[in-house]
């Protein structure tokens, strides 16, 4: 099994090839009844039509397989798990939402069964107001009582409140990292008890040793939204990660609930409601009667430009065996 994981890790970290293209490679292998190891060990890469650049990149990856084998062994020895997209342990929700843009491999530590449970994400500003934090606490409490996992990006503000509230109400949470999983030592130590008890799963889709960066934080957002069946928005500006993630989700028909703000609040929540998000009150309950909101002409052209998933092209339906 360790040897097979080496090939999976090698594929996911092959540079300059889109995630969707890598998923096409995986689908090609399984259509032929072959493994990822067979793909790399084949002189012709199982006859898959490749561009000259793709061929050279994959050849370079083949030469680095010993390094990946060492990395896999080191991760497993340290108690981390490596979950390929074809594994039964992989999140079906993530695969259904992101399709061909689903990450090839998940690096995790903790209770992997959490990936199979119903889940919600609570998202919002790092500088959220008190009403937004109260909303986050209320929604996390309700989710925990319904045995739904709360997905958190571990940023300050709404993300951190969502995590802490879920655990406070004896719920479960997934921490989605904007960095490599081995660089989260302080967080592992802080949540050691919850990880051991099975209430927290730490997850990363990046190279295990990657440090935090703005780029990874933006790329991480699509994983947060992808892991959740429902998305609750505490507070959003008219730009940034929350805004782009919600706009992208609305375009794709995702189930998104946005807290209806007071007249005095300065945020873009009402704009998102006007674009089709479901309005909810501070308790997270759906508001049946709400004012209609006019979308400014040309807004969707801006949304389309800003909300494309970072580092991925538009995906197709992903059909891979579990």
Which structure tokens are listed for 73? 């062994």
Residue 61 sits in the same domain as residue 128: no
Domain contains 322: no
Residues 210 and 299 in one domain: yes
- Position 21 pLDDT exceeds 90: yes
Residue at 174 is within a domain? yes
Cα→Cα distances 120→65, 87, 177, 239, 243, Å: 37, 22, 17, 22, 17
Dist. CA 171–CA 29, nearest whole Å? 39
DSSP letter at 142 equals H
Q: Is residue 58 part of a domain?
A: yes
Give yes or no: residues 72 and 192 share one domain: no
Q: Is residue 265 part of a domain?
A: yes
| Contacting residues for 137 by C-beta, under 8 A, at least 6 apart | 161, 165
Task: Quick: pLDDT tens for 279-321.
Answer: 999 999 999 854 544 444 444 444 444 444 434 444 455 555 5
Residue 253: give its domain's CATH number.
3.40.50.450
pLDDT tens for each residue of 73-107:
999 999 999 999 999 999 999 999 999 999 999 99
Average pLDDT over every residue of 7-25: 97
Domain co-membership, 127 together with 43: no
Residues 10 and 136 reside in one and the same domain: no
Inter-residue long-range contacts of 26-32, CB under 8 Å, 24+ positions, other chains counted? 26/85, 26/86, 26/104, 26/320, 27/318, 27/319, 27/320, 30/86, 30/320, 30/321
- If asked whether residues 255 and 132 sit together in one domain, one would say yes
The residue with greater pLDDT, 305 or 63, is 63
Is residue 103 included in any domain, yes or no? no
Domain count of the chain? 2
0.85 surpassed by pTM: yes
Whether 136 is covered by a domain: the verdict is yes
Q: Would you state the pLDDT for residue 237?
A: 95
Grouping H, G, I as helix, E, B as strand and the rest as coil, residue 258 is strand
Residues 159 and 68 placed together within one structural domain of the fold: no
204 and 137, same structural domain?
yes
Q: Are residues 279 and 204 in the same domain?
A: yes
Tell me if 99 is assigned to some domain.
no
Domain span at residue 235 reads 112-306
> Measured on CA atoms in the order 196, 200, 201, 206, is the torsion positive or negative?
negative
Strands, sheet with 278-280, edge to edge from the N-terminal-most edge strand = 81-84, 105-110, 200-204, 173-176, 149-152, 119-124, 230-235, 256-259, 278-280
Rg, the chain, Cα only: 20
Same domain? 143 vs 65: no
Q: What is the pLDDT of residue 294?
A: 44
Asked whether residue 168 falls in the same domain as residue 245, the answer is yes
* 151 and 273 fall within a common domain: yes
């Amino acid at each position: 099994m360790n040897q097979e994981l080496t090939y999976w890790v090698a594929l996911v970290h092959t540079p300059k090839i889109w995630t969707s293209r890598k998923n096409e490679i995986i689908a090609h292998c399984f259509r032929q009844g072959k493994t990822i190891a067979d793909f790399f060990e084949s002189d012709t890469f199982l006859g898959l039509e490749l561009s000259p650049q793709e061929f050279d990149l994959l050849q370079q990856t083949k030469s680095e397989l010993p390094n990946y084998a060492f990395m896999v062994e080191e991760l497993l020895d340290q108690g981390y798990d490596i979950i390929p997209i074809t594994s039964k342990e992989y999140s079906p929700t993530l695969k259904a939402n992101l399709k061909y843009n689903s990450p090839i491999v998940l690096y995790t530590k903790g209770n992997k069964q959490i990936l199979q449970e119903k889940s919600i994400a609570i998202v919002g500003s790092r500088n959220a107001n008190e009403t937004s934090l109260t909303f986050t606490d209320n929604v996390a409490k309700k989710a925990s009582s319904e045995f739904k996992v709360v997905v958190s990006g571990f940023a300050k503000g709404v993300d951190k409140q969502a995590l802490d509230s879920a655990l406070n109400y004896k719920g479960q949470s997934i921490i989605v990292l904007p960095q490599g999983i081995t660089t989260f030592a302080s967080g592992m130590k802080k949540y050691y008890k919850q990880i051991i008890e099975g209430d927290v799963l730490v997850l990363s889709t990046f190279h295990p040793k990657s440090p935090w960066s703005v780029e990874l934080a933006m790329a991480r957002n699509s994983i947060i939204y992808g892991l959740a069946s429902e998305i609750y928005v505490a507070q959003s500006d008219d730009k940034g990660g929350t805004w782009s993630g919600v706009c992208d989700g609305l375009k794709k028909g995702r189930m998104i609930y946005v807290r209806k703000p007071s007249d005095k609040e300065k945020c873009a929540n009402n704009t998102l409601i006007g674009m089709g998000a479901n309005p909810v009150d501070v308790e997270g309950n759906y508001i049946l009667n709400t004012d209609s909101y006019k979308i400014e002409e040309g807004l969707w052209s801006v949304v389309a430009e800003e909300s494309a998933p970072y580092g991925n092209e538009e995906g197709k339906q992903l059909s891979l065996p579990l």
